[in-house]
Chain A
Amino acid sequence: MKKIVIDRPRCEGHGLCEEIAPDLMHLDDAGELILDVEDIPEGSPELTDAGAAVRVCPVAALRLA
């Protein structure tokens, strides 16, 4: 099992992660990132999306642990 981790102070709400992985995370009305799914099973399609979200964050505020 992998976990998506946000570096909260670093997140500025660019929202590129939401565009690429809308089933896993979204920005709320205040522009704060909410993780709808945190624990991601190894080998799942969600893991591919989570990896893409991590990769696309322009300020490196997301990681998979």
Chain B
Amino acid sequence: MNRSTPASSDTDLFADEVVIDPYPTYAELRDLGAVVHLPANDVYALTRYDVIRDALADPGTFSSRTIGFNSVVNEALQGTSLASDPPIHTELRATLSENLSPRALRGLRDQIHTKADALVADLVARGSFEAIDALARAFPLEVVADLIGFTGEVRDNMLRWGQAAMEVIGPMNQRTAENFPIAGELYGWCTGVRAGDLAPGSVGRGIFDAEDRGAIPSGTAGHIIHQYLGAGVDTTIAALGNIVALFSAFPDQFDLVRGDSALVPAAFNEILRFWAPVHAWGRSVTRDVNIDGTLVPAGSQVAILFGAGNRDPRHYENPDAFLVQRNPVDHLSFGYGPHGCAGQGLARLEAHAVIGALAVHAQRLVAAEPVRLPSNITRSIDALEILKVVPA
């Protein structure tokens, strides 16, 4: 076995120009190697599909102890399912997903579809609209707020709290430093929240009931609610914004979905593959490990680049083309394995509802250039003016 040193690059993964459009960087790094050492970030980046999927399936070697890229956030996340490894992870995950799995969400399907349909019909009727605030943000904020039972002040803070919770996972740069106080507001609120603060009959209230019954450990209900909000809002907003942007940019592909509603799930898979909502996610290497013929030493920090793996030509033919009929069911944007996105069932419900509603109500979306702001972890569109919508 060849145990040479991985290739190295002076790329800064979190530089403004990289996080705004990481795809040229992903291609360069992928060409250098399946794993590339980045001294600027003190990480080993995983760039190709196979090594990413293998790492996600092997929590024994790639520990979630350091999913973030600064020690403060990693310390703060200790004890959550996000930052733990099996066997402890297994129990925490079960508690987290009990109310979030597709099984638990089955009853919500019709309600979510009705909401999406009404919202999209209204926007289409306006003739022009700003798609991020009016749809990509408005819809998941309403769905998640109703699901968890948020009311009043929290509802108003969900967007900024959710953005900050993702931003602080980055390295200790200016964006992370500026967002820690905001992420702290969320943490503080979740530490103090009580059953009575959440709407009766909501999932959030149910988590407190589970704590009262002893079904989950005392004092953990607030942490679970923290994860719903911290992990589930910003990423879903990114995915929904990408739906509108990509359907606007590729009208021929939108036409295919309009012509065949069975393509809705495939289209969402391709949207997630084409633009990954999460830029980089960490792991910590527990032992000396051979990755694609090179040695990554025990204790190294890894950066998993989901978006780079999703465009790996070794795995997907013509990977830079956006093709809704491709149906890449094994894309990496939800991660994979024991830590695979716990909210992916809800994300699919919301996205399928939005895609279905757009396909029914709109024939053509004409968009201005998407506005993007640099951010460490979530890659999302900040503003997307739909200048003209042709109704179906």
Partners in one complex: yes
- The contact size tier of chain B is 20 to 34
Indicate whether A12 sits within 8 Å of B338 (C-beta atoms), given known contacts A31-B106, A56-B330.
no
Asked if B57 and A60 sit within 8 Å, CB to CB, the answer is yes
Indicate whether A56 sits within 8 Å of B336 (C-beta atoms), given known contacts A12-B103, A14-B344, A31-B106.
no
**Residue B79, interface by CB 8 Å:** no
Which residues of B (337-354) have their CB < 8 Å from a CB of A?
A: 337-338, 340-342, 344-345
**Residue A59, interface by CB 8 Å:** yes
- Chain B residue numbers with a CB within 8 Å of A56 are 329-330
Indicate whether A32 sits within 8 Å of B103 (C-beta atoms), given known contacts A12-B97, A14-B345, A56-B329.
yes
Q: From DSSP, what is the main secondary structure of chain B's interface residues?
A: helix
Asked if B90 and A13 sit within 8 Å, CB to CB, the answer is no
- Chain A residue numbers with a CB within 8 Å of B344 are 14, 58
In the complex formed, the residue of B with least CB distance to A12 is B101
**Residue B373, interface by CB 8 Å:** no
- Chain B residue numbers with a CB within 8 Å of A9 are 90, 94
Asked if B97 and A55 sit within 8 Å, CB to CB, the answer is no
Which residues of A (36-59) have their CB < 8 Å from a CB of B?
A: 55-56, 58-59
Q: Which of A16, A30, A32, A59 contacts B329 (CB 8 A)?
A: A16
Asked if A13 and B337 sit within 8 Å, CB to CB, the answer is no
Indicate whether A59 sits within 8 Å of B338 (C-beta atoms), given known contacts A14-B344, A20-B329.
yes
- Chain B residue numbers with a CB within 8 Å of A60 are 57, 336-338, 340
**Residue B374, interface by CB 8 Å:** no
Taking the closest CB of chain B, its distance from the CB of A25, in whole angstroms, is 15
Report the bound CA distance from A10 to B337 in whole Å. Answer: 9
Report the bound CA distance from A39 to B353 in whole Å. Answer: 37
**Residue B102, interface by CB 8 Å:** yes
Which residues of B (119-163) have their CB < 8 Å from a CB of A?
A: none
* 15 A-B residue pairings within 8 Å (CB atoms): A12-B97, A12-B103, A12-B342, A13-B102, A13-B345, A14-B344, A16-B329, A31-B102, A31-B103, A58-B334, A58-B340, A58-B341, A59-B337, A60-B336, A60-B340
**Residue positions of B touching A, CB distance < 8 A:** 57, 90, 94, 97, 101-104, 106, 265, 329-330, 334, 336-338, 340-342, 344-345
**Residue positions of A touching B, CB distance < 8 A:** 9-10, 12-16, 19-20, 27, 30-32, 55-56, 58-60
